[in-house]
Amino acid sequence: MQLDFAARELTIKLVYYGPALSGKTTNLQALHKAADPSASGRLMTLETRDDRTLFFDLLPLTFRDAGGLAVRLKVFTVPGQVIHASTRRLVVQGADGIAFIADSQIQETQHNAESFMDLKENLKSNGLTLKRMPLVIQFNKRDLAGIRKDDEIARLAAQGREPTYLAVATRGDGVVESFIGLLHLTWSALDAEHDLNRKFGFDSDAFLAQVARSLGQTRPVSELLGDCVGGALDVLRPEAVP
Amino acid sequence: MTNPASERNLDSLMLGGDIRLEELVDREALGEMVASFYELFRVPLRIFNDEGLILADASEQHALFTYLNTFRNGRRALSEVVDSVKNINPGVDGEATHRCLTGSVYQVTSISYDGRRIGRMILGPFLPPLLDEAPRAVLELDPAIDAAKVKHLMAEMPRAREDTVARIARHLKSALTLILFSGHKALLTSNMHLAAVRESYRELEQKNAHLQEAFDRLKELDRLKSNFLATVSHELRTPLTSIIGYSEMLAEGIAGDLTGEQGEFVATIREKGEQLLELIKGLLDLSKLESGTMSLRKASIDVGPIVEDVAQTVTPTARKKGVQIEVDIDRGLPLLWADADRLRQVLLNLTENAIKFTPEKGRVTLSLGHTLMEAPDADGEALVLLPNRRPALELRVADTGIGIPETERQRVFDAFYQVDSSSTREQGGTGLGLSIVKRLVDGHAGTVHIEDNTPHGAVFVVTIPCRRATLS
């Protein structure tokens, strides 16, 4: 997070992590497509000739609340391919929240796990810990055959702390829901640490609603957040983290 | 990590903090674009960064302003215009116009990127199409100003409608935004690339350090192992010598006559004792060679007699096995600077090996000849100055046995390595002989390798350079 008191500007870094070809870039494209042009900048993709992400994708979203505070969201993806380990480490540096995009196909289970361990390692080498990192999990590609069953995911997700969403990013299904979940969690964590709501007279509920509207959602935020199939949406206060 | 300063840079670049216009565009190219714009529309255009530094300028002072500048009040009024245009704030993403006392107009448009203003472009001055008469404000500057001249000069000013210029400015701005986006992308890519390379380098360095540490530890362990081997071999040899000595005395009947069976048992004890002694000697040699404590007593020697001597030594064994020994020594060979005992050991080892793996009615041939070998110390440097080939002696031990597969030919020289461990049980042997051979040959700056013997069998070829040698 970067805070510019003078300009009343807050920059938040959100990172979409996950194994190769799990749909991180597709998530960003769907967000970009859904976003109101006044809120969204151009989607920057640094990709190779075969459409694989080389360094990262970057979607800038800017919102201004009623009190005049500009919240600049920088949404990044990491390159999923194993060889880009150093780039992933650089992109995840200073992340305020992470969406882990998992591939729902049963055959990808191992890759999901490896990528998650890789995330843990990279956070650690950046002096961060997963325990204190706002994290949502998205099971993408729900439209494919050979995927892990809904109830299986729900059962496992219910045992975990991370809010878990189901999505078909190619159709845009579940993309905004996951994003709102991530933003809610990230803002709550930043607010718990920096007391942002009080310092800026910021109404975080109204802000989330504004973001959801800008992303083309007509449903209330509570309903969007409720789409998660497991995990907890309330954030631990930092002092409660062991 | 390695370079915190530049990484903070990357971070701020990624989050879009303090991006500067001049970082995202090539100034020269921007200048060209602005010039071509001016050529097309004849409206002056200047581009400033957010601190007011001019980055590109396509304008020339119009004759009207040159004329007004010749009057003191004119000069003052015009410089006020310049100041106020410079200070116009069109907001983060907006536009504004300014009209000066001559009636000419300046269009100021902000250049923004990622929700922040990073510069401004100023179009003008230009005159609205319908303005012909010199404004009173101009004439009032100084009674000496010539109204007719002002009118004449005004007719030469660029003319444009304000809304047209505003539209042009917006188009120009959107083109510029695209350029800025591409510039930002390129800037990010190159910075990310650098950072990724640096990060990979750091990682490699770290791994190298770990490897080096592990290597050093292994080297130390290896040294300890060699020391241990040397000590143990020594300690084993002492009691073994007694065992062999006493069994010899028993066999000779010093302690009384032995029955036939007793004699057989004692002979077995002695034979196995000798075998064990050979193995221990081999281990000792190997550890000495490995630790570099074996000293070679080199002298100018004639190798021919050594070959003949070895052939004689092995003849009884060969005869017992039905293997024929042949010797072929070239005439007029140079002397060799070598340790005669060790060279004999090499040759004996290879020959015994050859007999061991040659079936009945087979043949083992020892040959000695003259050859040239690559200078091993040339190292690719100043080759032209060095004799790249030097005279050497080549010792060949050829057998007609089972041969050694191509893939095994390097590894047979490793200690304890056996091509086929089942043959060891059949043929005996410690697996140390060839590694000792290799090390002894190395000690003579020579080489040893294996070739095929047609139609079957193997040839061990030892080449040793004739340093300090003279023709005999």
3-class DSSP assignment, residue B71: coil
Whether B15 sits inside 8 A of A93 (CB atoms) is no
d(CA A179, CA A217): 12
Residue A240, pLDDT above cutoff 90: no
Looking at the fold, whether B106 and B248 belong to one and the same domain comes out as yes
Whether A76 sits inside 8 A of B181 (CB atoms) is no
pTM confidence score: 0.68
The model's confidence at residue A144, banded by pLDDT at 50, 70 and 90, is very high
Tell me if B75 is assigned to some domain.
yes
Q: Residue B290 is part of which domain span?
A: 1-294
d(CA B362, CA B325): 9
Looking at the fold, whether B312 and B256 belong to one and the same domain comes out as no
Residue A242, pLDDT above cutoff 50: no
Of A14 and B135, the structure prediction assigns the larger pLDDT to: A14
d(CA A114, CA B390): 58
Whether A74 sits inside 8 A of B14 (CB atoms) is yes
β-sheet bridge partners, residue A136: A99
Q: Do the Cβ atoms of B121 and B45 come closer than 8 Å? A: yes
Nearest Cα of chain A lies from the Cα of B456 at a distance, in angstroms, of: 49
CATH code at B310?
3.30.565.10
Q: Which residues of B touch A84 (CB under 8 A)?
A: 196
Looking at the fold, whether B363 and B265 belong to one and the same domain comes out as no
Looking at the fold, whether B236 and B373 belong to one and the same domain comes out as no
* Alpha-carbon distances of B330 from A35, A44, A125, B243, B451, rounded to whole Å: 92, 79, 69, 45, 20
Q: Which of B249, B276, B294 is the last residue of a domain?
A: B294
Nearest Cα of chain A lies from the Cα of B404 at a distance, in angstroms, of: 41
Whether A72 sits inside 8 A of B188 (CB atoms) is no
Q: Which residues of B touch A58 (CB under 8 A)?
A: 14, 188
Q: Do the Cβ atoms of B121 and B97 come closer than 8 Å? A: no
Q: What is the pLDDT of residue B387?
A: 57
Q: What is the pLDDT of residue A8?
A: 87
Whether A11 sits inside 8 A of B17 (CB atoms) is yes
Q: What is the mean pLDDT of each run of 10 residues along chain B (472 residues)?
A: 51 82 92 93 92 92 91 92 89 90 92 90 91 85 90 89 92 92 90 89 94 93 80 84 91 88 90 86 77 79 91 89 92 88 90 90 92 63 59 90 84 71 53 83 88 87 73 37
Structure-token pair, residue B258: 């032995």
Nearest Cα of chain B lies from the Cα of A98 at a distance, in angstroms, of: 16
Tell me if B83 is assigned to some domain.
yes
Query: Which residue in the block uniquely carries the two structure tokens 């674009």?
Result: B33
Tell whether B272 lies on the interface with A, counting CB pairs under 8 A.
no
Q: What is the pLDDT of residue B213?
A: 95
Whether A87 sits inside 8 A of B185 (CB atoms) is no
Tell whether B206 lies on the interface with A, counting CB pairs under 8 A.
no
Whether A46 sits inside 8 A of B185 (CB atoms) is yes
State the count of interchain CB pairs (< 8 A) between A and B. 63
Cis previous bond, B359, omega within 30: no
Q: Which of B275, B294, B313 is the last residue of a domain?
A: B294
Q: What is the pLDDT of residue B471?
A: 39
Under DSSP, the state recorded for A161 is S
Tell me if B249 is assigned to some domain.
yes
d(CA B389, CA B370): 13
Looking at the fold, whether B311 and B455 belong to one and the same domain comes out as yes
Q: What is the pLDDT of residue A109?
A: 92
d(CA A54, CA A157): 31
pLDDT tens for residues A80-106?
888 788 889 999 999 999 999 999 999
Tell me if B470 is assigned to some domain.
no
Looking at the fold, whether B252 and B376 belong to one and the same domain comes out as no
Tell me if B245 is assigned to some domain.
yes
Query: Which residue in the block uniquely carries the two structure tokens 């020994």?
Result: B325
Looking at the fold, whether B301 and B289 belong to one and the same domain comes out as no
Residue of B nearest to A126 (CA): B1
d(CA B466, CA B472): 12
Looking at the fold, whether B277 and B320 belong to one and the same domain comes out as no
Domain boundaries, given as residue ranges, for chain A: 2-240
Q: Which residues of B touch A72 (CB under 8 A)?
A: 15-16, 114-115
Q: What strand order describes the sheet that includes B324-329?
A: B324-329, B363-374, B389-398, B458-465, B447-452
d(CA B98, CA B75): 18
Looking at the fold, whether B86 and B169 belong to one and the same domain comes out as yes
Q: How many domains does chain B have?
A: 2
d(CA B95, CA B117): 12
Structure-token pair, residue B384: 């032209």
Q: Phi and psi at residue A39, in whole multiples of 5°?
A: -95, -25
pLDDT tens for residues A181-236?
999 999 999 999 998 888 888 888 899 999 999 999 999 999 999 899 988 887 54
Q: Of A11, A86, A93, which is closest to B203 when you measure between CB atoms?
A: A86
Residue of B nearest to A127 (CA): B1
Q: Which of B279, B294, B309 is the last residue of a domain?
A: B294
Q: What is the ipTM of this complex?
A: 0.83
The residue type found at B94 is: G
CATH class of the domain whose range is A2-240: alpha beta
* Alpha-carbon distances of B384 from B152, B387, B465, rounded to whole Å: 85, 8, 20
